[in-house]
Amino acid sequence: MVKFFLQNNKNNTLIHYLLKKATKHQKYKLFFVTCYFSLDAGSKIIKSLLDKNISISEIDFILDKGQVLDIGKESLQKWRDEISISCSVNLQIFYVNQSALFHPKIYALLEINANNNVLSGSLVFSSANFTNKGLIDDNIEFFIATSSLPVLSKFKRELDDLNIINIDCLEHDFSFDINNENFQDNNEKNQQETLFRFNLLNRGRFLHNWKTNSSNYNLKENLRITFESASDWQIDSINEDLERSGFDISQAKTISKVYFELDEYIKRIDKQSKCYDFQKTPGIITFLGRWIPVKRTGQIYLDLDIDNFDYFSQDLLQYLQSEIQSAFKSIEKDYREFIATGKLRVKSKYVKNIETFKVYLVLKILKLFDSSFGLVEDKLFENKNAMQNALNVLDSMNLENIKMIRLRRIFSPHYFFDLPYELQDTENINLLYECLLESCHSSQDNKNKIIKAVKNADRDKDLSHIDKVAVEVNE
């Protein structure tokens, strides 16, 4: 009988699941997709797998970028080359190039043809990282396997869509000895000091907290249409008609309407904004946000549930796309009753008739997801086919290619990102590092282990202080 929760023989169980449908006559490609990784566990499990007499043409590790930086490019390359030679296998190591923590644990053995189509194989979903604790020691972990071809194919397609980069392309190695006698020249020492600072800063991520009550970052306000009284009409005389038609007249001298039901989405936003206490986050304040060691950010991501933004944004877009025609009918009704009769007018230079009113609403949606549409408003309304063009853009909108900064700020007051500077940007690197140290030295928090680790790392020029405290904080 299949057991889902395992404490013993986890590595053997993983190997069993991967090889369950494999035959000796086919060639396979092996994928290890994991957040955290240890070289020792990698050596043990790869050798055990290859002892099973299955033909494996390539082994790919796909890791979190922070983990690659943490282990170090040279260490990973050395291990990769040793395994490749000793086991006669093509082994490659990649990292996912994004600021968010890459947190899955998926292991797959796939038969793939020349057209990159999956023909057969096995896929294992697990809670276990590819580490000794995850797959060899006493952690209790979850495992479930499938050989469903549609699932295998979808996994491969989505894996191909990730922005993965071979570790050979990583620009900077993260291990060095600043006291090496070769660095006698002051200029070289300065460069090496900057490199140390750059590497320390890269050992963490930044959590920014947006504090604003601006209407720019309110979902309803971004989709609200504002009206004003036309000619000599007294608004008081038509208040009942306006309220019956869904207009908001609660604000003095302001008439407005939102043409979509957004309460469900607003509840999700409110829940998100209240789910995390930024002030209790362990870390160090800088002008970019709170600096937190990379190994600590995994749990914060889980607490913040930031990944939910992808589902939220896609769900919201699909809802607005599906309801746009219904909104258009409401616009037609309001136009006939209040605008064509000279009672109201839309507060926009673009709205001249029903058609431009509709375009204006679509533009509101487009700007919500991609603020760059605000730069082309004039051109959009000048086009003879403005209505159809706007709808085409809305229907074909691909959120994977859009940063959605405004919607992200609406969704959550918290935002995670990596160090935004390259090594060549020495001025900003040094300024940020000095800001980090200033926060450490001015802090009265004697219990903050991260502050103590940064001080010690700066004193000894030894990044292992950061690595140790990251593990301690996690535990």
**d(C-alpha 212, C-alpha 147), whole Å:** 49
Last residue of a domain, one of 106, 140, 169: 169
pLDDT, greater one: 93 or 187: 93
Say yes or no: 92 and 190 in one domain. no
pLDDT at 336: 93
Same domain, 164 and 237: no
Give me the number of domains the chain comprises. Answer: 2
Round to whole Å and give the CA distance between 266 and 273: 11
Same domain, 285 and 312: yes
Residue 278 has pLDDT above 60, yes or no: no
The pLDDT tens digits of the residues spanning 119-157 come to 999 999 999 999 888 888 878 898 999 999 999 999 999
pLDDT surpasses 80 at 331: yes
In whole angstroms, what is the distance from residue 5 CA to residue 14 CA? 12
The last residue of one of the domains, among 169, 188, 218, is: 169
* Residues 19-71: tens digit of each pLDDT: 988 888 888 999 999 988 889 889 989 988 888 888 898 999 999 887 888 78
Examine the domain organization and report whether 161 and 184 are in the same domain.
no
Shared-domain flag, residues 189 and 248: yes
Q: 97, 112 in Cβ contact below 8 A?
A: no
Residue 153 lies in a domain: yes
- Look up tokens 């039901």; give the residue: 261
> Cβ distance 312 to 268 under 8 Å?
yes
Pair (143, 246) in one structural domain: no
What is the pTM assigned to this prediction? Answer: 0.53
Note whether 230 and 156 are same-domain residues: no
- Residue 286's DSSP bridge partners are 289
* Of 28, 16, 50, 19, the residue nearest 119 (C-alpha): 28
Query: In terms of residue numbers, what domain contains 131?
Result: 5-169
User: At 156, which CATH number?
Assistant: 3.30.870.10
Please identify, among 120, 138, 169, the residue that sits at the C-terminal boundary of a domain: 169
Helix (H) / strand (E) element for 60: namely strand 55-64
Chain segment 2-12, per-residue pLDDT in tens: 678 888 888 88
Residues 196 and 74 in one domain: no
Amino acid at 291: W
Task: Tell the burial category of 359 from Cβ atoms under 10 Å away from its Cβ (0-12, 13-18, 19+).
Answer: buried
Res. 424 pLDDT band, cuts 50 70 90: confident
Torsion of CA 150, 156, 161, 162, to 10 degrees: 130
Q: Is the pLDDT of residue 93 over 60?
A: yes
Tell me: do 314 and 193 sit in the same domain: yes
Is the same domain home to 423 and 282?
yes
**Separation between Cα atoms, residue 391 and residue 361, nearest integer Å:** 11
